[in-house]
């Protein structure tokens, strides 16, 4: 059947109905600087060789953080090493088929890969059940909040630590605009979630809190004693949600062992490329008690009538499968290819390998921090005077990301730009504009760190 566009008469009838005289009036909100006027100037056809050269030149204008810069930036996306086998395996044709495995009899490989990924996330988080992944860490956190309100019927208040990533808090605020949940922020004290303020907020909410969202480590890189806050959350009858860096779970106590009900996070560090900011994947795990309200897709293992092992979609509480009003989420899919990469990475590294990677990252973070402080151009905004927090030298416990305040004379933005021009991504400028949040990974070398510190002094 041929596609027949609307006639000019039909177009005019629609314009009359909505009260405009011309199609151009529909674009009055678009700035003139980006609005196309007239036909675009497109050159004539060129050969394949010339086209390839042109595209390579255009691609070369991108600043590739993984290959062209020494990256000390983090904030959720990290420059970790990606084993060579990953790109080789994910290019196999079996994984280039449709990612939606609605027909289990013809998608056993995809379903098994998702199942293995889920198993790895469960082992990593110490929790009972994991779903097939979500779009990213921010949506996973938001879905955890909504999941908690479904489990704790009648409660709609969510307490979110202000030490969570600003991007995740913004995503949470966007979803909360629906008025289905009410988000209240818990302030930060000395760089970490204020436990006393959390206790006060739980008491003031008078039994209306469904969930408490806590970072582990937090946006500033600090690791707080979340067990105390989890206990207070449970005493108030709410669910505890930990937002975690999966690499750090190689050395930190698992969310499950700390009593968390739900663990979420950005899974990009697990073998996925930075790719100019995405796509990544959100991982999502919970206790068995929360399982029936888990959002998205979940793969289970079973046996067919002949006793052969098979994999199927189970607990498919999505709007495609059941009545929309009973759906647990509007997340209609998962990032299967990214989850496959994460599953491969976890299988290849194993517990010992992941721990080794995390320790390498931590050691280099300590070295970078010490070298920058030694320049006299930085200070630690969260240091304790006497080490009363149990750490040495008054430094609060941190992951392979940490925050320093800039005390040099050069404006911080100018310093950051100049270091970029010299081939360094010098971390993330703090929201208040006074310091840098810097991250190291196993890819960074001592020589790179020393050279970076020397460049900081030159630019100061």
Q: Token digits for 353?
A: 């390998």
Tell how strand 424-425 and strand 70-71 pair up.
parallel
pLDDT of residue 324: 65
pLDDT of residue 387: 47
Name the β-bridge partners of 447.
Answer: none
pLDDT of residue 297: 85
pLDDT of residue 37: 80
Check if the beta carbon of residue 262 is closer than 8 Å to that of residue 286. Answer: yes
Sequence-separated (6 or more) residues with CB below 8 Å from residue 130: 117, 118, 119, 121, 122, 283, 284, 285, 286
pLDDT of residue 99: 53
Q: How far apart are CA 232 and CA 197, in angstroms?
A: 11
Nearest to 142 by CA among 116, 117, 164, 169: 169
Q: Is 337 left (phi over 0), alpha (psi -120 to 50) or beta?
A: alpha
Check if the beta carbon of residue 118 is closer than 8 Å to that of residue 282. Answer: no
Q: What is the mean pLDDT of each run of 10 residues along the chain (460 residues)?
A: 76 93 89 85 89 93 88 96 93 67 73 94 98 94 96 96 97 92 96 97 96 98 97 98 98 98 98 91 97 89 91 72 67 80 96 98 97 97 64 76 97 97 96 97 98 96
pLDDT of residue 105: 65
Indicate the pTM of the whole model: 0.87
Q: How far apart are CA 86 and CA 346, in angstroms?
A: 11
pLDDT of residue 388: 46
Q: Residues 200, 186, 293, CA angle at the centre, nearest 5°?
A: 95
pLDDT of residue 204: 97
Cis? peptide before 217, omega within 30° of 0:
yes
pLDDT of residue 318: 58
Q: How far apart are CA 410 and CA 186, in angstroms?
A: 34
Q: How far apart are CA 251 and CA 356, in angstroms?
A: 9
Q: How far apart are CA 406 and CA 423, in angstroms?
A: 20
DSSP string for residues in 5-63? PPPHHHHHHHHHHHT-SSGGGGGTTS-TTTS--S---------HHHHHHHHHHHHTTS-
Domains and CATH numbers, the chain: 70-82+351-459 (3.90.1150.10), 84-344 (3.40.640.10)
pLDDT of residue 65: 86
Check if the beta carbon of residue 270 is closer than 8 Å to that of residue 345. Answer: yes
């Amino acid at each position: 059947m041929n596609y027949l566009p609307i006639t000019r008469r039909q177009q005019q009838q629609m314009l009359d109905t909505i009260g405009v005289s011309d199609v151009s009036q529909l674009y009055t909100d678009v700035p003139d600087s980006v609005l196309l006027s007239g036909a675009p100037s497109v050159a004539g056809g060129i050969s394949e060789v010339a086209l390839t050269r042109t595209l390579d030149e255009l691609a070369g204008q991108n600043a590739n953080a993984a290959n062209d810069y020494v990256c000390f930036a983090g904030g959720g996306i990290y420059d970790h090493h990606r084993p060579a086998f990953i790109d080789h395996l994910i290019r196999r044709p079996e994984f280039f088929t449709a990612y939606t495995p609605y027909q289990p009899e013809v998608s056993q490989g995809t379903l098994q890969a998702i199942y293995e990924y889920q198993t790895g996330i469960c082992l990593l988080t110490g929790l009972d059940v994991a779903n097939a992944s979500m779009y990213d860490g921010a949506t996973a956190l938001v879905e955890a909040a909504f999941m908690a309100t479904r489990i704790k019927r009648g409660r709609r208040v969510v307490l979110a630590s202000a030490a969570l990533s600003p991007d995740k808090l913004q995503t949470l605020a966007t979803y909360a605009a629906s008025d289905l949940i009410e988000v209240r922020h818990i302030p930060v004290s000395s760089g970490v979630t204020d436990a006393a303020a959390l206790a006060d907020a739980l008491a003031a909410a008078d039994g209306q809190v469904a969930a408490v969202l806590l970072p582990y480590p937090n946006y500033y890189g600090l690791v707080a004693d979340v067990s105390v806050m989890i206990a207070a959350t449970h005493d108030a009858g709410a669910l505890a949600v930990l937002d975690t860096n999966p690499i750090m779970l190689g050395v930190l106590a698992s969310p499950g062992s700390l009593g968390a009900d739900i663990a979420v996070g950005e899974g990009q560090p697990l073998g996925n490329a930075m790719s100019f900011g995405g796509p990544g994947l959100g991982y999502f795990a919970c206790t068995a008690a929360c399982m029936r309200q888990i959002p998205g897709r979940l793969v289970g293992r079973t046996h067919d009538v002949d006793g052969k092992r098979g994999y199927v979609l189970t607990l498919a509480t999505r709007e495609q499968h059941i009545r929309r009003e009973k759906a647990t989420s509007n997340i209609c899919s998962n990032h299967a290819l990214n989850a496959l990469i994460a599953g491969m990475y976890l299988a290849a590294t194993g517990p010992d390998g992941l721990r080794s990677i995390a320790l390498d990252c931590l050691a280099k973070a300590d070295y970078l921090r010490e070298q920058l402080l030694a320049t006299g151009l930085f200070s630690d905004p969260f240091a304790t005077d006497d080490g009363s927090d149990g750490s040495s030298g008054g430094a609060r416990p941190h992951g392979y990301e940490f925050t320093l305040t800039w005390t040099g004379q050069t404006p911080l933005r100018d310093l950051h730009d100049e270091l970029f021009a010299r081939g360094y991504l010098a971390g993330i400028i703090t929201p208040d504009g006074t310091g840098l949040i810097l991250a190291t990974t196993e890819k960074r070398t001592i020589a790179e760190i020393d050279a970076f510190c020397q460049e900081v002094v030159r630019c100061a």
